[in-house]
Amino acid sequence: QVQLVESGGGLVQAGGSLRLSCAASGTIFSINVMGWYRQAPGKQRELVARISSSGNYADSVKGRFTISRDNAKKTVYLQMNSLKPEDTAVYYCYALVSTWYGGPAGDYWGQGTQVTVSS
């Protein structure tokens, strides 16, 4: 009973910016890790960024994207600047969640939000 809901995707010109948000809700004891993955048609899903105590980034987005989280709101953000056409993909929110005390952590995914960067 964990839901991740993304927002903020859309169409933007190359060089522009977008900010993605993902809010977690449901039966949550703790969120260990939150992050963003993306998948373009015909390609494998790839890690964009993830954050626990600090952020980690794919080489392709370093210096352009910034991940952050608001633990009180159970929300993770992805600020995307200097967007390139190759950033075009469906972006999926990810969370590693423990739903009960002492229990294992499991993977949860959002429904995805489309980001399209035109040249």
pLDDT at 1 over 90: no
Q: Does residue 11 carry a pLDDT above 90?
A: yes
98 to 19, 27, 32, 71, 115: CA distances (angstroms): 27, 9, 8, 14, 29
* Per-residue model confidence (pLDDT) at position 32: 94
Q: What is the pLDDT of residues 12-38, one digit of tens each?
A: 999 999 999 999 999 999 999 999 999
At 52, list the tokens. Answer: 């626990």
DSSP 102: T
Residues 30-84 have pLDDT tens digits of 999 999 999 999 999 999 999 998 999 999 999 999 999 999 999 999 999 999 9
Confidence of residue 87 (pLDDT cuts 50, 70, 90): very high
The phi and psi torsions of 90 (rounded to 5 degrees) equal -90, 125
Largest CA distance in the chain: 49
